[in-house]
Amino acid sequence: MNSASYASALTAAQDAAGAQHFPPGALYVVATPIGNLADITLRALHVLRIADVLACEDTRHTQSLLRAYGIEKNGAGLMALHQHNEQEAAQQVIARLRDGLRVAYVSDAGTPAVSDPGARLVAAVRAEGLPVMPLPGASSVTAALSAAGAIDESGAFVFAGFLPAKTNERAQAVQVLATEPRATVLLEAPHRIAALAGALVVLADRPLTVAREISKQFEQIVTLPAETFPAWLAADPQRARGEFVLVLHPAPRTVHEDGPDATALRTLDLLLAELPLKTAVKLAADITGTPRNALYEAALERKKQ
């Protein structure tokens, strides 16, 4: 995109965020667009301009992003921080923060530290007692969830990220998902999407929302039974291109008239280990659909044992 297109955005960013407080010696975790450059926030634009140092997953990618917005940073203002050097580079960031500099961290796209580098950096900075300020913005996870309609009134979901690459381990992970009562978000790369689609066939008619190339020109979002996902992919070679976010809808809840099943009991045991009995019973009932009375009796038996 032409940087001139963002001249008014930079002015708006200065007007909207310029008077806000951006303390020196703080790490700013900045979300950047996952496709459409117009998804940048005004506060992010302002921080990218005023940051003394930009730590980047890929300095070349970030330099291109900055130029698209009409922001100029020289080479000294950029440093590489990615999955292969994060631990060591974090110490360099900490040194700059102790010198009173503002350091902003950006990954190649989306929100850092969510299936992107950044988590170890943030942990290291916090361990030193230095401030970390998040600048929220684009995220493929929340974007896919918002278009899937898969979350119930509890608001609960599971972020599973990338499943194992090895066939047997991936199949085992899918078996765990088969009994997951919450919506589950998966990520996958184009060269592995066919293998993942094949593994999900065992989930039969479980609804699956497939989001491809979110916010980009060829964005595609469909909901279909999991068992039909391989056929959907094969119907058009273009469908296997791009980055994927999958939302596996919750497993249907069933009422267990004969008492809690193994999944309900396992859920109850996990909750009892951390919570008071009544709270654990209530949550286990909400999660599994098992009658509360049956779970309460099971909980009492477990406490006796």
Measured distance CA(250)–CA(42) in Å, rounded: 36
Domain membership flag for residue 146: no
| 10/119 same-domain check | yes
Strands (DSSP E) found in 213-253: 220-225, 244-248
State the total domains in the chain.
3
Overall pTM > 0.75 = yes
| 165/110 same-domain check | no
Q: What percent of the chain has pLDDT over 70?
A: 96
Whether the CB-CB separation of 35 and 211 falls below 8 Å is answered with no
Which of the four pLDDT bands, split at 50, 70 and 90, describes residue 253? low
Range of the domain at 215: 158-169+182-248
Write out the two tokens for 191: 């060269």
| 20/122 same-domain check | yes
The per-residue pLDDT for range 100-155, each reduced to its tens digit, is: 999 999 999 999 999 899 999 999 999 999 999 999 999 999 999 999 999 987 78
SS3 97: helix
Domain membership flag for residue 26: yes
| 267/192 same-domain check | no
Q: What is the dihedral of CA 47, 48, 51, 57, to 10 degrees?
A: 120
| 228/279 same-domain check | no
- Residue at 245: amino acid letter: V
| 164/132 same-domain check | no
Measured distance CA(160)–CA(114) in Å, rounded: 11
Whether the CB-CB separation of 303 and 277 falls below 8 Å is answered with yes
Average pLDDT of 72-76? 88
Which of the four pLDDT bands, split at 50, 70 and 90, describes residue 263? confident
Alpha-carbon Rg of the chain, whole angstroms?
23
SS3 80: strand
